[in-house]
Amino acid sequence: MTLARTHAISLVGVQGHPVEIEADIENGLVALLLVGLPDTALREARDRIRSAIVSSGESWPQRRITVGLSPASLPKRGSSFDLGIAAAILSAAGAVPAARLSGVVLLGELGLDGKVRPVPGVLPAAAAAAAAGFRMAAVPAENAPEACLVPQLRVAAVPSLGALVDWLRDEPGRPGTGGVQVFEPGKGPRPAADPPAAGQAGGQVRDLAEVVGQPTARRAAEICAAGGHHLLLLGPPGVGKAMLARTLGHITCDFVSRRRPITSRRHAFSAIVIDCPCRPGRRRSPRPAETDAGRPRPVCRGVISSPGRCRLPGRGTAVPRHRVYPRV
């Protein structure tokens, strides 16, 4: 019997919880068993991981493999466990040294060709890993700028499973796979430039001075932008609700430093990775409305609760239009 351990992070809401991944290889019928409350996406990881390991030039163990996710009572959702499970299986098979995986959290989804694909929620997962005492996080290359926002953590940007295996073995990278880049705390790459926000149109910032008349609505927009309140705009089409909403990006103030990490975690959990308010000088981004949403959507959305329109701004401004949401 051969046993190996790696670590990942499970997100419950926007809170991350460390998960220990154990891979046990023993004699028996060839199979891969996954236990520990996995969801449907995680159960399907068995086929993804097998194809990714074989496509990376490694041998799949022709024995019985049992993968346990601890704590067993904690629900595990999503495909971010793929990279940790694959590394645990390779370590149990003796393909990579187990010592190199100590103190490292692995996050990422695997493609059938071995590529490591980006996953949502890397920022809260990296923050939880640092709080739990881990010294390094191996994440998809696309998520590296997001993980580098956590100042206590070293970040390894992993483009593919083959590159991770070469890095763990201290071998030169394979041709065409790209190498693993390691960033020291506070020295990672900067996130991509922000897309045009709600207060921009075609790259030009909408000025509140463009709104003629509507003194009451203008005053309400100024108060909401200054205090980070939500704003409800009611009226028939063509009276200027959308135009007034687009000017909020021009008059909003910068985030308070202590609010940036909280809001960034909500955005990362909702897969809003580029529009990250954690950087210095980032302005509060007004969130547009979902005019066809039901009552629960402004607060939480989806079968698995995630931040809704009223939670994503994080002391910014949400702008519902056309529809009145009753008090709950």
Domain holding 176: CATH number?
3.30.230.10
Q: Reply yes or no on whether the pLDDT at 204 is more than 50.
A: no
Task: pLDDT band for 231, please (50, 70, 90 cuts).
Answer: confident
Q: Is residue 251 part of a domain?
A: yes
Domain end, chosen from 136, 155, 183, is at 183
Closest alpha carbon to 136 in 175, 87, 76, 195: 87
Separation between Cα atoms, residue 301 and residue 323, nearest integer Å? 17
Q: Is residue 128 part of a domain?
A: yes
pLDDT tens for 83-116 read 999 999 999 999 999 999 999 999 999 999 999 9
User: Mean pLDDT, the chain, as a whole number?
Assistant: 79
pLDDT value, residue 323 = 45
Q: Is residue 21 part of a domain?
A: yes
Same domain, 177 and 224: no
Same domain, 119 and 29: yes
128: CB partners within 8 A, 6+ apart: 9, 15, 16, 17, 18
Q: Is residue 267 part of a domain?
A: yes
Domain end, chosen from 128, 156, 183, is at 183
pLDDT value, residue 57 = 93
Same domain, 135 and 279: no
Task: pLDDT band for 224, please (50, 70, 90 cuts).
Answer: confident
Most confident range (mean pLDDT) of 86-90, 194-198, 218-222, 299-303 is 86-90
140 - beta bridge partners?
A: 158
- Region label for 202, one of left (φ > 0), alpha (ψ between -120 and 50) or beta (otherwise): left
Q: Between 144 and 201, name the one with better pLDDT.
A: 144
Same domain, 21 and 169: yes
Q: Is residue 324 part of a domain?
A: no
Same domain, 166 and 204: no
Same domain, 31 and 167: yes
Same domain, 156 and 244: no
User: Please, what is the angle between helix 260-269 and helix 122-131, to 10°?
Assistant: 120
Number of domains in the chain: 2
pLDDT value, residue 312 = 57
Same domain, 155 and 213: no
Q: Is residue 195 part of a domain?
A: no
pLDDT value, residue 130 = 95
Separation between Cα atoms, residue 262 and residue 13, nearest integer Å? 12
Same domain, 140 and 212: no
Judged by DSSP in three states, 91 sits in helix
The residue with tokens 């931040």 is 307
Mean pLDDT of 49-56: 96
In the chain, the percentage of residues whose pLDDT exceeds 90 is 48
pLDDT tens for 264-285 read 555 555 554 434 444 433 445 4
Burial (CB count <10 Å: 0-12, 13-18, 19+), residue 188: buried
Same domain, 134 and 235: no
Q: Is residue 190 part of a domain?
A: no
The residue with tokens 């695997």 is 110
Domain that holds residue 273: 200-307
Q: Is residue 36 part of a domain?
A: yes
Separation between Cα atoms, residue 163 and residue 56, nearest integer Å? 9
Q: Between 6 and 178, name the one with better pLDDT.
A: 6
Burial (CB count <10 Å: 0-12, 13-18, 19+), residue 238: exposed
pLDDT value, residue 196 = 47
Verdict on whether the full-model pTM lies above 0.75? no
Same domain, 176 and 212: no
pLDDT value, residue 102 = 95
Same domain, 66 and 164: yes
